Amino acid sequence: MRRRRMEFVFLFILIVSVYMIVFSQVSFNTKLFFIGLYVFVMFITLYSLMLENRFAHDTLLWMYVLLFFPVFGYVFYLFSGQLYLKGYLFQSKRKKDREEWKSLVTHVSSPDLTFLNNHQKSFAAFAKNASETTISTASKTEVLKNGNETFSEIIKQLKKAEKFIHIEYYIFRSDRLGTEIIDILIEKAKKGVEVLFIFDAAGSLSLSNNEVKRMKKAGVKAYPFSPLKHGFFNQKFNFRNHRKIIIIDGEIGFVGGLNIGEEYLGRNKKIGFWRDTHMVLEGEAVYMLHTVFLLDWEYVSGEDVLEERPEINTRVEKGDGAVQVVASGPDTQQGIMSDFYYSLITCATKSIWIASPYFVPNQAIKAAIKHAALKGIQVRLMVPAVNDGFLTQYGSRSYFGELLQFGVEVYSYKKGFLHQKLIIVDGDIASIGTANMDMRSFHLNFEVNVFLMGSSSINDLVTHYQEDMKDSEKLDPLSYNNRGLLERSKESFARLFSNVL
């Protein structure tokens, strides 16, 4: 926080210096003083930027912005350029979470992974060492396709809750669906069921304050994640909690791409049909997912709830493959989800199928996809034909040309808005969860994904992907290369913002 205050002091000095140099009628010597002051502040800023050891082109780009756009460049740097930092933001949460994870993973038994094939073992070896969470063979998963399946199952399980309901969402609306779920939470809280509710302050702006008050009055404990009114001067306002988690009685867990709102049921006429995927977890995976929630709860509430947490109380008689829950964000190792995606892609031997609403890969993932295609591995990328934003739509499209050139198959989903975040490798390893394949999910957002190895749920994901292909149009490389100058200009412009999409 001390550094953040210094940055705003520097901004104030720059503003005053520019005013005194350009607009005031002070003496020449006074102007020289403010010129020197301006140069000193810029030198300190540029030197600090150099010490961050970013990629050379990133460092030079921000240096040019700072030098050639007085004051405005510095403001843009404060709220965009420094989002890359591993530094002090969420430092206390990151340190505390790591300590908690190390103590909690001892409760999960070391799995026997000898049943996995070679490339599954290769990914599992990385996954075991790269994350604080362990791989579980005592878990079950079930795929839920789209809003109707997902919300009917969520509502059914919420009504069965007897001990607690812990719920965390990026977007939670006060529409018909949201109100129905809120009514269940209130009813359960009045009956003595513990209800803990986290909602992202930015994503859930449409959540009515009256609804929050109504929940609290009934006994629901509700907290916003990173309130906007506290976030401007410490930069946290741009780091959002993108997780979607429900834990019921420690026995059932929900995670995936669907937020709470009518549009996720396809009831928004402007958006139309909403294609998404969610999952139900049972067994040890619920314990790991619950840990992600509880760590977030301790952060927003200040309560120490993990110390009194009971042992794993949910076991399955026979697990279904290997399951790992992986959380990512500013509170974890920098870029961990990107590393998982990269490892998943590079272990492929036959096929890589990707579905993502926002496709803005970093250099490593883009290179891995190209190399896989050059080796003769089937690479398919599915994206929505129409996105929910100009920058995301054309930023994604700007990558199609180079991928098509290397033999990647690109499919444009036509039925509605494709929102699922899915990777399937060789038909027997998969990732599903909240993290998109873009810079925001890799570096800014709090995310959580489930990685599956040798699970029967992967067969369902494969089937659904093949069904989605029937509702998609395969891009023709020749037609794409012949697109007009206006389309190319839109793509190139949108790509300039790829680091913050």
pLDDT tens string 134-186: 899 999 999 999 999 999 999 999 999 999 999 999 999 999 999 999 999 99
- pLDDT at site 86: 46
- pLDDT at site 3: 65
The owner of tokens 């499209």 is: 397
Residue 246: beta bridge partners? 167, 254
Residues that are catalytic: 242, 244, 249, 419, 421, 426
Long-range contacts from 68-72, C-beta under 8 angstroms, 24+ separation: 70/14, 70/18, 71/11, 71/14, 71/15, 71/18
CA gap 471, 333 in Å, rounded: 38
Residue 283: beta bridge partners? 139
Burial class (CB in 10 A: 0-12, 13-18, 19+), 213: exposed
8 A C-beta contact, residue 158 and residue 185: yes
CA gap 133, 247 in Å, rounded: 17
Using alpha carbons, list the distances in angstroms from residue 197 to 212, 301, 500: 10, 10, 28
Q: Residue 489: helix, strand or coil by DSSP?
A: helix
- Both tokens assigned to 392: 């995301």
- Both tokens assigned to 294: 């509880």
CA atoms within 13 A on the CB side of 275: 27
Write out 89-134 in H/E/C secondary structure.
CCHHHHHHHHHHHHHHHHHCCCCCCCCCCHHHHHHHHHHHHHCCCC
8 A C-beta contact, residue 235 and residue 89: yes
- pLDDT at site 183: 97
- Both tokens assigned to 246: 């429900």
CA gap 171, 271 in Å, rounded: 16
Q: Which domains does the chain have, with CATH numbers?
A: 2-84 (no CATH), 91-111+141-316 (3.30.870.10), 336-500 (3.30.870.10)
Residues of the chain with pLDDT under 70: 1-4, 53-55, 57-58, 79-110, 229-237, 309-315, 499-501
Report strand pairing: 322-328 vs 447-453: antiparallel
Query: At 94, which amino acid appears?
Result: R
Question: Residue 398: which of 483, 271, 458 has the closest Cα?
Answer: 483
CA gap 347, 371 in Å, rounded: 12
